[in-house]
Structure formats: structure tokens, C-alpha cells
């Protein structure tokens, strides 16, 4: 049984012209100790999907489908039970630590606060906070625990965020663009740290990013989102070596590599992501696709199995 099982998830928000569907019919499974990369451009529905798992969407959002964690339906839990699930069962690393951390609160107290949400032992919370800072590679954790966020570098602040996420030893860690604001060197260190923590504590991980190169370093499987839907899903190496959906191919071709001809401009995906308030009737990518056929515009294609455990929402490449 998967640790996290999302089935037919759709998320709608009210709007003046009618409800807007930000996520449509998303189904994903993550096993214990497994890492899944959720990839897509800004606005594709990645973060909405993760916030739906944690039940952190605004009250007006309408969630349909099922989200099961450890076999239990999270959408049926009352708010108090969900508060216990967050942090202890599922934790999240947010993408901008300078805004996620409290600027007037010492970082050690902020990590300890995550423990106090599930315990009343202040001394134990303090010791666990220091150990968590040590686990994420903060030097002299007893001293740095007394620092404020502005006294730390960007990489250290992100490590504090990771410490807050792992201090209660959750089973599932959701990392939402955790390296976006960091330079390349620090980014590599954070990715290495996440991989080490995943292996050390047996964490399952949902890693959200727009960067395929980053996802390839830390995940076993990849799900590619476009305009609120999953368009490709499969083992990471298989998806990167043999992308089946035109959108995935476009993303991969637009990433420079050591073999890229520097005398030529990078390939781009023509057009723009459609407005989710007025999506095309068929394949969401059809207006931008170079291999489209008439049936692509008729109806949204289903996810079809291309090869073992490799799925794509494309009637052309699945033939």
C-alpha cells in the first residue's frame, strides 16, 4: 500500500465568471522511502496539489477526489486531527525561508516550536531542535540556535527550514522549490543534504520544482504537470531518456548541457501556457504542439501506458 495515494484530485476556486479548476484529475502514489518529482512551469498546479495534501488551501477552495496517507482519508479528517498530521506525519519545506521564518524570533525557538505543536516538554523540544540543526549541517548548533534569521546566510536559513521539517521525524517530506533562491553551489549542497536525510531517516519525498536538472538528482520517479493536469509520469531515468509527451521533450530541449552547441540559440516552446479560466477543449498543450493531429483538439487525452510504469497523456506518441 502506498504511503500517500492521491486519486482523481481536482481543486476549484470560485471566480466572477464561474469556478476555475486549478488542478484537474491528478492521481499520484508515493511509497515509503520513495521520492517523486513534480515538475512544471509556474501556475501548472504543483503547489496547489501539495497544499491540498496538507489541507492548507483557503476555505473557499473545493477539493474533489481522495487523498490517503497511511491508508487514512485526509479529506475526512477534522481540523484538529490534521494539525497533528502536519509536522508529525507530513512536513513541508517552503521555497523562500526569509519570508517563511519569523524575523524577530530566534531560529532555535522556531525549530523547537515545531516540536511544541506535538509535545509539552520544553526542555525536550530545545534539545531536539539543537539536534535537528546539527542534522542539517548547521555548525555550532547550540550557538547558532540563538541567532535571528537575518544573521544567517541564505543557505543556512534554508537548512533551518529543513530542520523544522524533520525535527518530528515525519514519514513524508514535501519540498516546494527548496533551492529556487539559492546560488548553484549552495543549491547543490541543499540537494545533497536532502538526499542524505531521505536515506538516513527513510523519508518519502514529494519534490516540487520547475527545474528538471534539479529533480533528476533527488527523485526516483517524475510527474510532469501542465495547466493543472499530469501529462507524463514514470521512472525518472526513463522519462529523461525517453520523454513521451511533447511538453516534456520541450522542457528537456530547453535545458543547456555540456553538449549544447553554444553557437546556436536554445530551443524554446512556442506560445504560452493557456489561461486556466479558458482552457482549450482537448489537449491543453495542443495549441503549442508541433506534432498535434485533429483528435488532439477534440477531447482531453487520457494517460496511456507507453512502457512499463511509464505513462503519457498523448495520443500521438502512445501509438
Q: How far is CA 187 from the centre of its chain?
A: 16
Domain check: are 154 and 233 in the same one? Answer: no
Residues 159, 136: contact at Cβ < 8 Å? Answer: yes
The tens digit of pLDDT for each residue in 12-26 reads 999 887 889 999 999
Domain check: are 30 and 73 in the same one? Answer: yes
Q: Which whole number is the average pLDDT over 55-69?
A: 95
Domain check: are 250 and 143 in the same one? Answer: no
Domain check: are 164 and 188 in the same one? Answer: yes
Residue 143 has pLDDT above 90, yes or no: yes
Side-by-side strand order, sheet with 172-176: 90-93, 172-176, 204-209, 35-39, 221-226, 229-235, 310-312, 304-307
Domain check: are 297 and 181 in the same one? Answer: no
Q: Which whole number is the average pLDDT over 215-221?
A: 89
Q: Which whole number is the average pLDDT over 109-137?
A: 94
> Within 10 A of 249 (CB to CB), how many other CB atoms are there?
18
Which residue segment(s) compose the domain that 309 sits in? 220-258+265-273+282-319
Domain check: are 60 and 148 in the same one? Answer: yes
Residue 112 has pLDDT above 80, yes or no: yes
Report the mean per-residue pLDDT for the chain: 91
CA–CA distance, 297 with 271 (Å, rounded to integer): 16
In a domain, residue 214? The reply is: no
The tens digit of pLDDT for each residue in 82-99 reads 999 999 999 999 877 778
In a domain, residue 215? The reply is: no
In a domain, residue 246? The reply is: yes
Q: What pLDDT does 319 receive?
A: 62
Domain CATH for 86: 3.40.50.300
Number of domains in the chain: 2
pLDDT band at 262; cut points 50, 70, 90:
confident
CA–CA distance, 47 with 28 (Å, rounded to integer): 14
Q: What pLDDT does 212 receive?
A: 83
Domain check: are 108 and 54 in the same one? Answer: yes
Domain check: are 46 and 157 in the same one? Answer: yes
In a domain, residue 239? The reply is: yes
Amino acid at each position: 500500500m502506498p504511503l500517500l495515494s492521491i486519486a482523481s484530485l481536482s481543486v476549484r476556486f470560485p471566480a466572477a465568471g464561474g469556478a476555475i479548476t486549478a488542478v484537474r484529475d491528478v492521481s499520484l502514489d508515493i511509497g515509503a522511502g520513495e521520492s517523486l518529482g513534480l515538475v512544471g512551469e509556474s501556475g501548472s498546479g504543483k503547489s496547489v496539489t501539495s497544499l491540498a495534501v496538507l489541507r492548507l488551501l483557503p476555505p473557499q477552495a473545493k477539493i474533489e477526489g481522495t487523498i490517503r496517507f497511511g491508508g487514512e482519508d485526509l479529506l475526512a479528517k477534522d481540523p484538529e486531527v490534521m494539525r497533528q498530521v502536519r509536522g508529525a506525519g507530513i512536513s513541508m519545506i517552503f521555497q523562500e525561508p526569509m519570508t517563511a521564518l519569523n524575523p524577530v524570533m530566534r531560529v532555535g525557538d522556531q525549530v523547537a516550536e515545531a516540536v511544541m505543536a506535538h509535545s509539552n516538554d520544553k526542555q525536550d523540544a530545545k534539545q531536539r531542535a539543537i539536534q535537528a540543526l546539527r542534522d542539517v549541517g548547521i555548525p555550532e548548533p547550540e550557538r547558532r540556535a540563538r541567532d535571528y534569521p537575518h544573521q544567517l546566510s541564505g543557505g543556512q536559513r534554508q537548512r533551518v527550514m529543513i530542520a523544522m521539517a524533520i525535527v518530528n521525524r515525519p514519514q513524508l517530506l514535501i519540498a516546494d522549490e527548496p533551492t529556487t533562491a539559492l546560488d548553484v553551489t549552495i543549491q547543490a549542497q541543499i540537494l545533497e543534504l536532502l538526499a542524505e536525510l531521505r536515506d538516513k531517516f527513510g523519508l518519502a519525498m514529494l519534490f516540487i520544482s520547475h527545474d528538471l536538472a534539479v529533480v533528476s538528482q533527488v527523485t526516483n520517479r517524475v510527474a510532469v504537470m501542465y495547466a493543472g493536469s499530469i501529462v507524463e509520469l514514470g521512472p525518472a531515468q526513463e522519462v529523461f531518456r525517453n520523454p513521451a509527451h511533447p511538453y516534456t521533450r520541450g522542457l528537456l530541449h530547453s535545458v543547456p548541457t555540456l553538449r549544447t552547441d553554444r553557437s546556436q540559440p536554445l530551443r524554446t516552446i512556442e506560445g504560452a501556457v493557456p489561461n486556466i479560466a479558458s482552457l482549450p477543449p482537448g489537449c491543453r498543450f495542443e495549441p503549442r504542439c508541433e506534432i498535434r493531429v485533429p483528435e488532439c483538439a477534440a477531447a482531453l487525452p487520457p494517460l496511456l501506458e507507453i512502457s512499463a510504469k511509464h505513462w503519457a497523456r498523448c495520443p500521438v506518441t502512445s501509438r
